[in-house]
Amino acid sequence: MLKKFVSSICILCLLCACSGGTSGKEASSGTDVKSAAQSLVKDLNLTDTTAEVEDRVVQGLFFFEDGVVTASDVYLANDKSADIVGVFKTTNIESCENSIKTYLSTTKQQMQSYFPEEVFKVDNALVQDNGSDTVILIICKDMETAKTKAEAILKG
Amino acid sequence: MKKTVLILLCACLLCGCGGGSSTAKTEKQITRACLAIDSYDYKEPVPVSAAIGEDYYATAMFAGDSRMGCLSLYGNHPDAEVGYVTSLNLLMIDIMKADERDDGKTLMDLLNETDRQNIYLMFGINEIRNLSFDAFAEKYQEILTTLRNNNPSVNVYIILAYHPKEISGLNADQLNTQLNALNTQLVQLAVDNYTYYLRPDDAITDENGIVRESYVFDGLHMNPTGTKAMEDFYATHVVRSEDYVKEVCE
């Protein structure tokens, strides 16, 4: 009886571990956006001037509609610039990009008041997607490199 | 083995008895119970008070976005600690470096390190175009909790947003709606945290409730005249806990 009970518990534990795999998938998708964002930050020489922000900060800045962004990694400037690198996994590219456009519009207005020299960079922000589930946002000085690197990531 | 267990059990019982006598002793020492009753109404803005002396500023820290920067640029109280970040979004308070410093510290670093007893916070104008203030309020709450954890007796003054002349991207109605939403959240934070809040409008706005043109140089940021008006307002809106907290003893 006891053996049966113990083996049932073991089976339950194994099942739980398997279902953990689903959230692991999410985590792995999160890891994808993470490594993509990290490599962009490195390639664009933004390591010292940007910092990775928490998921709740991302939502507080972009106001994505519920369920639209399933994983993201965003680096924001720690100085007075508008620099940003964001990689977003999305279920709805149009909605995701609309939220990003709203962010850009707000950022532009903000920069016009405080740091007008940044407005040009915001105007030339890169918002690019792979046509299915990933959107990349970049504001930085070196937009040529940004475009090349983003395309490479989106082509996968 | 059984013997050891028995000895341990006896020792525990003896300790238990010892503890009992110490409890009894404590109970005997308490002869009366006192209760501190705070009659301050946290739902209301800080009322006018007698003006503070210059020594108060050595106990005060003013932290905020660029609106707080006027105290650093034109302030008349050198002992006051001022920390601010131009274009600060509160969600980035622990990322963006504070202005006028070379050490790379963020405003959150400064708030964490300060030992000032009276802390004034002015945040929110850079979030005024937000679709919601929920994330802002959550972060603000986190800061209030941190300040209280660092110093349980700290006095925090939340400063409501005054009405600027204009904010780009918002028309007059939208600006009013957003300011009301922001200030409602700020008042709620004050009430929830038993924290004071300041409504500077009467001191610095005109008959339409908009900041006086002679006080600002760009419709939002205070010039030296406006800074003086804000300082006078702070000086005459201080809560002295002895006026509100009474100790009642049985």
**What is the predicted pLDDT for the residue at A72?**
97
B28, part of any domain: no
B44, part of any domain: yes
Q: Which domain holds residue B63?
A: 39-238
Q: Which ipTM was obtained for this model?
A: 0.74
Give how far the C-alpha of residue B81 lies from the chain's centroid of Cα atoms, to the nearest Å.
14
Structurally, chain B folds into a number of domains equal to 1
**Domain limits, chain A:** 44-155
B137, part of any domain: yes
B168, part of any domain: yes
Mean predicted confidence (pLDDT) in B74-82 = 96
> Taking the CB of residue B27, how many other CB atoms lie within 10 A of it?
8
**Contact between chains at B86 and A80 (C-beta distance less than 8 A):** yes
Looking at chain A, which residue has its C-alpha nearest residue B94?
A78
C-alpha angle B90/B92/B98, rounded to 5°? 90
Between chain A and chain B, the number of residue pairs with CB atoms below 8 A apart is: 51
Distance CA B126, CA B27 (A): 55
**What is the predicted pLDDT for the residue at B21?**
40
CA nearest B218: which of B81, B86, B62?
B86
Mean predicted confidence (pLDDT) in A139-150 = 96
pLDDT in tens, A11-48: 444 444 433 333 333 333 444 899 999 999 999 999 99
N-terminal to C-terminal alpha carbon distance within chain B: 54
| Residues in chain A closer than 8 A to B134 (CB atoms) | 60
B75, part of any domain: yes
Q: What's the whole-model pTM score?
A: 0.81
Pairing mode of beta strands B245-249, A84-90: unpaired
With an 8 Å Cβ cutoff, is A56 touching chain B?
yes
B26, part of any domain: no
B147, part of any domain: yes
Looking at chain B, which residue has its C-alpha nearest residue A78?
B96
Q: Which of residues 104-123 of A touch B (CB under 8 A)?
A: 105-106, 109-115
Sign, Cα dihedral of A113, A116, A121, A123: positive
**What is the predicted pLDDT for the residue at A142?**
95
**What is the predicted pLDDT for the residue at B175?**
97
- Identify the residue whose tokens are 């003054």: B157
CATH at residue B98: 3.40.50.1110
Distances (CA, A) of B219 to A107, B213, B216, B223: 19, 7, 5, 10
B185, part of any domain: yes
With an 8 Å Cβ cutoff, is B131 touching chain A?
yes
Closest-CA distance of chain A to residue B150, Å: 23
Is the predicted pLDDT of residue A90 greater than 50, yes or no?
yes
**Contact between chains at B87 and A76 (C-beta distance less than 8 A):** no
With an 8 Å Cβ cutoff, is B66 touching chain A?
yes
| Residues in chain B closer than 8 A to A51 (CB atoms) | 95
Mean predicted confidence (pLDDT) in B153-178 = 96
Identity at B4, one-letter amino acid code: T
Is the predicted pLDDT of residue B33 greater than 90, yes or no?
no
Q: Find residue B157's DSSP bridge partners.
A: B120, B196
